[in-house]
Amino acid sequence: MEKELQKVAEIISSSKSMIAFTGAGISVESGIPPFRGPDGLWSRYDPKCLDLDYFHLNPEESWKAIKSIFYDFFGEAKYNGAHKVLAQLEEKGLLKAVVTQNIDNLHQEAGSKTVYEFHGNSQRLICLQCGKSYVPSEVNLNELPPKCVNDKKILKPDFVFFGEGIPETAYRKSLQAARDADVVLVIGTTGEVMPAAMIPTEAKRNGAVVIEINTEESNYTDGITDYFLQGKASEILEEIYCLIK
């Protein structure tokens, strides 16, 4: 693995338009479980709580699961070494953007400036009637579903539910960044969920080198991945960062 890490560090050091594509795995070392896999969130909660139609029909039940997953649990999480290294690579001018599927805000908290949130962000709640936006601390999540102070309509977390479209700006900028990329770091994702999962493939189609960091193989590993570094994101990224000139 040493030789491969050295080679990957050289590729990153000489990159001109590198991006990172991240999934739940990059936040596992912050204490946030992944969605899939043996102890994944979808083995404990029914994904229907994030289905848009179900949410509209059963807001209270949906909100109970949403609060427990994304506010009680996520709320305490801190960014980890993997998020930090990506922010440092951006600071050095080596990383142009992070395209993340995550909604936990940890890239921004680690200092990353250009973050395209393909699935939105849990740190915003939106009134479905008047569009007023709230941060979680402004809302009493002990009374579910939370209501807008203006019109008493139900608030929805501003992240993408199953059956909901991808935020147009994030989609467009992510696609452009992938097309412009000469290197893409694919970190902590199964590559299960479209259209997000096509970002690394789009980069590859346009000639990018694909460097994958994951504890397990993913949908990319036997396909578009050029370098597969198996292990924990923070450990591998910190080792690579030490090798970068």
Catalytic residue list: 119
Element (H, E) at 21: strand 18-22
- Would you state the torsion angle of the CA atoms of residues 135, 107, 174, 114, taken in this order, to the nearest 10 degrees? 90
200 in contact with ligand APR (CB under 6 A): no
Q: Which residues pair with 159 in a beta bridge?
A: 120
Which residue of 34, 59, 81, 167 would you call a contact of ligand APR, by CB under 6 A? 34
Closest by CA to 185, choosing from 111, 245, 99, is 99
Told to check if 193 binds ligand APR by CB under 6 A, we report yes
Read off φ and ψ for residue 124, nearest 5 degrees: -130, 140
**Residue 23: closest CA among 151, 144, 232, 197:** 197
Q: Name the E strands within 39-162.
A: 97-100, 115-117, 120-127, 133-134, 155-159
Taking the complex as a whole, the smallest distance from the CB of residue 150 to ligand APR amounts, in Å, to 29
- Give least dist CB 209 to ligand APR, A: 19
**What single string gives the DSSP state of each residue in 223-243?**
TT-SEEEES-HHHHHHHHHHH
199 binds ligand APR (CB under 6 A): no
- By the rule CB under 6 A, 136 interacts with ligand APR: no
Bridge-based pairing state of the strands 120-127 and 133-134: antiparallel
Question: Least separation, in Å, of the C-beta of 123 and ligand APR?
Answer: 15
Of 12, 20, 32, 36, the residue at the interface with ligand APR (CB under 6 A) is 36
Under rule CB under 6 A, how many of the chain's residues touch ligand APR? 24
Which of 15, 18, 20, 29 is the binder for ligand APR (CB under 6 A)? 29
Does position 23 interact with ligand APR (CB under 6 A)? The reply is yes
Angle between helices 81-91 and 233-243 (to 10 degrees): 30
The reply on whether position 30 binds ligand APR by CB under 6 A is no
39 binds ligand APR (CB under 6 A): no
- Chain residue whose CB lies nearest ligand APR: 25
Nearest residue to 200 via CA among 216, 177, 222: 177
Q: Which of 15, 88, 105, 214 binds ligand APR (CB under 6 A)?
A: 214
Site string for ligand APR, 92-121 (x = CB under 6 A): ---------x-----------------x--
**Which residues contribute to the site for ligand APR (CB under 6 A)?**
23-25, 28-29, 34-37, 40, 101, 119, 188-190, 192-193, 213-216, 218, 232-233
